[in-house]
Structure 1
Amino acid sequence: MADDDRSPEDEFQELIRQLFGGEGGQLDPEQLSQLAGMNIDPAMMQALMRQLQGAFASGGDEGGISWDLAQRQALHIANQDGLGITDGQRTDLEQAFSLATLWLSEATTISELATAPRAMTRGAWVEATLPVWQQLAEPVATSIADALTGALSEQAPEEMQGLVQGARRFMRTVGGSLFATQLGHVVGNLSKEVVSGGDVGIPLMPDGEAAILPQNFADFGRDLEIPDDQLALYIATRELAHARLFRHARWLRLHVISQVTDFARGIRVDTSALEELASRFDPSEPEELRRALESGALLPARTDEQETALVRLENLLATIEGWVDVVTAQATGRLPMADRIAEAVRRRRAVGGPAEQALASLVGLTLRPRRMREAAAMWQAVTDAVGVGARDALWDYPDLMPTAEDIDDPAALVARLEARARGEEPAPDEMDDALARLLAGEEPRAGEETGAADVTGDETGDEAGDESGDEGTDQPRPV
């Protein structure tokens, strides 16, 4: 058969053999399954093959990432045990949520959820949270797909360049599909670790929803030697506090996601590492590609901008987790083993499980609230000074939210809140004075150029903030 008479499927097979070092014959679906480092069922493998063949046949310069593959793989892992939720588990958790709701009404002024909390299977958790995982992982998936396109174009022999140039959409789809499938693998395994909807610390669940995964709850409490009813009450209280906060402060969800986006915007794939891997890649040893994806070997060291964005994100997560910690402690004060449970939860959040660590390597982002204890101490100081209502009012607007400096030293924040409680206006600082003169059209005073630049977002002000090591300059100032 002449080259011009070859079908798209024949060209698909030829390109795969050339680019991945195959030795002729039909592409083995089992081999492509192993490329992603996981055991994929035949139906899912055929779907992947059809997607790749269709991408090659349609041509074009753009190729999308099929997140359906991620969902299928995650659900395949999450539902492997086939276990559902028993009536007893559902009843126990409903009772825990009911009592936790009453206790929280004494510990916070933030209102109850409009949607009843629920017991959730691992598969349901995957379906509920995957849209957020997709949003977090998409910059990395796109970067890997683009890098794979460039690297494989350079690796292909001269006689294949015409075919390669006509198959850019296909190669982007290959890279995106491999990443999406690996993300599904990680999220599926993560569904076996998380105990509740807010367990990871970011707003994964739909707005205003709270849930506990009974299977994972049982695994978490197995070696703690803590009565199940006490553990359920504590976890239910913490989950409700987390969900209530994000429902009350509706701007907070976008704020967290934008901080993650600031970090992800700077992610680039290490093309030299990818090219080196492609040059020695052996399809009979696909584990190497899986390890490279999951270990983060294709992601270079973080840039200074990424480190700054990561510090801001860690401070934000710590501020959220610290508030949840204080409110939960206050609400569960009646539990005899509350302190012991709290310490177990903090240790678990500080370390994370294997799947969460794999996720950190895959997308280059560690979701650890490293300053949670300091943030909790700040929220406790605020509560002791001005009470629950004034404390919770700080979540009403973004510009009231505590900053990184408030975590370091809450004294100034406490003083402002105490003055406001007495009906006093807070004393203006240098930035307030500079802003007032700027709005009045006056020229900055000598030595105040940096302050005015900070207010207007001038580049000089940003540099000054960086040099001073101020981690919270990008966060809104409290009034």
Structure 2
Amino acid sequence: MPDHPQTPDSPSDGSGDEPTGSGLPPELEQMIARITGGRIDPEMARTLKDMGIDQVDPAMLQMMMGQVQAMFASTDDGPFNVALATDTARKTVSAAGDASVSEATARQVAQAAQVAELWLDEVTAFEAPGITTHAWSRAEWVEATMPTWRTLVEPVAEGVGRAVGDAMRTQMKELGDGAALPEGLLPAGMDPSALIGQMEPMMAKMSGSMFGLQVGQALGALATETVSGTEVGLPLVTDRAVVLLPANVEAFADGLGVDLDQVRLYLAVREAARVRLFSEVPWIGPQLLAAVRDYARDISIDTDRIESALTSVDTSDPTALQSALQDQLFRPEPSASQRAALGRLETYLALVEGWVDVVADRATRDHLPQAAALGEAVRRRRAIGGPAEKAFSGLVGLELRPRRLRDAANLWAALEDRHGQQGRDDAWGHPDVAPTAADLDDPLGYVDRVGTSNDSEMDAALDQLLSEGEQGPTQ
């Protein structure tokens, strides 16, 4: 029989509850044994007790144990644990309340979407990609949009993983250079700096799990607030369907003094307009997502602050490390490339939401008595910082707010007034001719320039036709 110490995974009596005499709670013994691969050294146990870890609330210990088990059981080798993020988000919305959508409610959403599409047909040149609707619960929104969120936050997760690893290597190097360790924390004769090679895989999993928890909590909070599939201004829903979250629509309507049917219709119009835009303008969705990824890819992780968090964290609180890192991740000053990405993102978001504002107003003002009040409620919601802004500020260090929305709405309205709805929508034809940040500074100048260009092209085409008519038919 091999001679090796027993662990909770190999108890002598098969019970798994054999006492070790460490004086630590059994849950903590199991967790430490899983990490160290053996029993707890008495000196290590005394050190941990001196740190007060045996006073941790048993419920919190159980939660921490479950997280550690999930971490080691995960086969996800990506920069963050997507399965854990999804599970955390689902648990977050469940705790807030997330009833399944009834068939009657789903029919109400489908009917609202159908009416919205009819109204939009009258005010935009863009066609509907197909009247497909979803009435999603909050958990269904999490599941459906997670693939897109994954592509957006992976660059940040990679940076966090590198920074945590660098911080740990720095601390281990300092320990190896002579810094004092509590006696008994490591086996006698072991070089602290040699541990880093053994710990790196575990640290990578811990970092991925930590970021997965953070993503899950952020998206869970977002799912309890967002009223539709693409309210954040990004093409999160891949099947080009009109999506509403009935529970959140009702919460938004609460206190407005507007009939729920009108609120549902107004939000369906906004969602259907956004879906048409993403469908008929194939470049705008990828440009928005690319701008977010470009910003995230060049994000600067504050390693010094992470090192400080790692050394000062309260070890008796299993959520302390995550909370400390959540507030210590990003350097406040963006790089030049980040500022460029942020400029593109803000411009595109403003153009998208400004266009949606104008089109939704045109589609609803003759049909919904409270259309103006609902438009104002949406603007107030954005002004105080909507759900997307909160989610992105924690995950990417980025405020996802269309700051120049009013300028964009004025530009689209002026373009429509001069050239009609066809001319307004034609401006989306190619990114090279779409309005820029400079055009938002001078909307009327853009409108004049577009008109001059269109007139010149029309005159040239007319001259060509007249010339061919004078020459007569070719033989």
Q: TM-score, normalised by structure 2?
A: 0.78
Amino acid at match of 2:309: L
Matched with 1:449 is none
CA change 1:403–1:243 in 2 (3 A) is: same
Q: CA shift at 1:160, angstroms? A: 2.5
- SS of the equivalent of 2:354 reads helix
Structure 1 residue 266 and structure 2 residue 298: aligned?
yes
> Is 1:165 the counterpart of 2:197 in the alignment?
yes
Q: Which of 141, 144, 147 matches 2:157?
A: 141
| Residue in 2 that maps onto 1:69 | 84
CA contact (8 A) 2:219 2:391 kept: no
Determine the structure 2 residue equivalent to 1:465: none
> What is the match of residue 319 of structure 1?
351
Shift of 1:288: 3.6
1:376 maps onto 2:391 in alignment: no
SS in 1 for 2:122: helix
1:329 is the counterpart of 2:361: yes
Alpha carbons of 1:101 and 1:118: their partners in 2 closer, same or farther (altered >3 Å)?
Answer: same
CA RMSD of aligned residues (A): 3.3
Shift of 1:23: 5.2
Structure 2 counterparts to residues 201-216 of structure 1, below 5 A: 201-216=233-248
Specify the alignment match of 1:179 in structure 2: 211
Distance in 2 (alpha carbons) for counterparts of 1:370 and 1:32: 47
Structure 1 pair 173–404 and aligned structure 2 pair: CA distance change class (3 A): same
Per-residue displacement from partner, 1:201-244 (whole Å, max 9, x unpaired)?
11111141220000011111101111111111110000000011
What residue in structure 2 maps to residue 411 of structure 1?
Answer: 444
TM-superposed CA distance for 1:78, in Å, is: 2.3
2:235 and 2:206 mapped to 1: Cα distance?
A: 30
Residues 298 and 335 in structure 2, CA contact (< 8 A), matched pair in contact too: no
Closer/same/farther in 2, CA of residues 34 and 261 from structure 1, 3 Å limit: farther
- Return the match for 2:426 from 390, 393, 396: 393
CA distance 1:345–1:355, change in 2 (3 Å): closer
Supply the AA of the counterpart residue of 1:303.
P
User: In the TM superposition, what is the alpha-carbon distance from 1:153 to its structure 2 partner?
Assistant: 2.2
Within 1, Cα distance between the matches of 2:144 and 2:119? 27
Letter in 2 for 1:215: A
Q: Which runs of 5+ in 2 are unaligned?
A: 10-31, 177-190, 461-475
Matches of 2:282 and 2:82 in 1, distance apart?
Answer: 27
Residues 82 and 372 (structure 1), Cα distance of their counterparts in 2 relative to 1, 3 Å cut? closer
Q: What is the Cα deviation at residue 198 of structure 1?
A: 1.5
2:333 is matched with which residue? 302
Query: For the Cα contact (< 8 Å) 2:114–2:131, is it kept in 1?
Result: no
Shift of 1:392: 0.9
Residue pair 1:122, 1:191 contacting (<8 A) in 2 also: yes
Match of 1:50 in 2: 73
Equivalent position of 1:154 in the other structure: 170
Contact 1:116 1:209 survives alignment (8 Å): yes
* Cα 1:151/1:23, change in 2 over 3 Å: farther
Q: What corresponds to 1:12 in structure 2? A: 35
Asked if 1:112 is matched to 2:143, the reply is no
Deviation readout 1:166-205 (Å, 9 max, x if unpaired): 3322212211210111110110111100001111111111
Q: 1:99 to 1:164 in 2, by over 3 A?
A: same
Aligned to 2:94: 79
Q: Tell whether 2:107 aligns with 1:91.
A: yes
Shift in alpha-carbon separation, 1:357–1:32, aligned structure 2, 3 A: farther
Whole-Å Cα distance in 2 between the matches of residues 426 and 283 of structure 1? Answer: 76
CA distance in 1, matches of 2:228, 2:364: 17
Select between 264-273 and 381-390 the one with higher mean Cα deviation: 264-273
Cross-structure match for 1:101: 117
- Cα distance per residue 1:130-181 (max 9 Å; x no partner): 1121112111111111111111222234323222223322212211210111
Matches within 5 A, 1:428-447: none
Shift of 1:400: 2.0
CA distance change for structure 1 residues 374 and 353 in 2, over 3 Å: closer, same or farther? closer
1:444 is matched with which residue?
none
Q: Which moved more, 1:88-97 or 1:215-224?
A: 88-97
In structure 1, how many angstroms separate the alpha carbons of the residues matched to 2:155 and 2:263? 38
Q: 1:361 pairs with 377, 394, 405, which one?
A: 394
Match of 1:344 in 2: 377
Asked if 1:240 is matched to 2:240, the reply is no
- Relative distance call for 1:384 and 1:86 in structure 2 (3 A) is same
Are the counterparts in 1 of residues 411 and 443 from structure 2 also a CA contact under 8 Å? yes
TM superposition shift of 1:5: 7.4
Letter of the 1:257 counterpart? L
How far has the Cα of 1:34 moved from its partner? 6.0
Alpha-carbon displacement from aligned partner over 1:36-64 (angstroms, at most 9, x marks no partner): xxx9698666322423xx89xxxxxx874
Between 389-398 and 185-194, the greater mean CA deviation after superposition: 389-398
Counterpart contact for 1:140–1:268, Cα < 8 Å: no
- One-letter amino acid of the counterpart of residue 75, structure 1: R
Whole-angstrom CA distance in 2 between matches of 1:200 and 1:79: 22
The 2-side partners of 1:70 and 1:239 are apart by: 26
Give me the whole-angstrom Cα distance separating, in 2, the residues matched to 1:114 and 1:356.
30
Contact 2:218–2:394 under 8 Å retained in 1:
no
SS of the residue 1:166 aligns to? helix
Q: Distance in 2 between matches of 1:11 and 1:96?
A: 54
- 1:198 aligns with 230
The amino acid across from 1:414 in the alignment is V
Bigger shift: residues 227-236 or 303-312: 303-312
Distance 1:232 1:356, change over 3 A: same
Q: Identity percentage over the alignment? A: 37
Contact 1:294 1:359 in 2 (8 A): no
AA aligned to 2:199 is: A
Residues of 1 paired with 2:103 and 2:139: CA distance?
A: 18
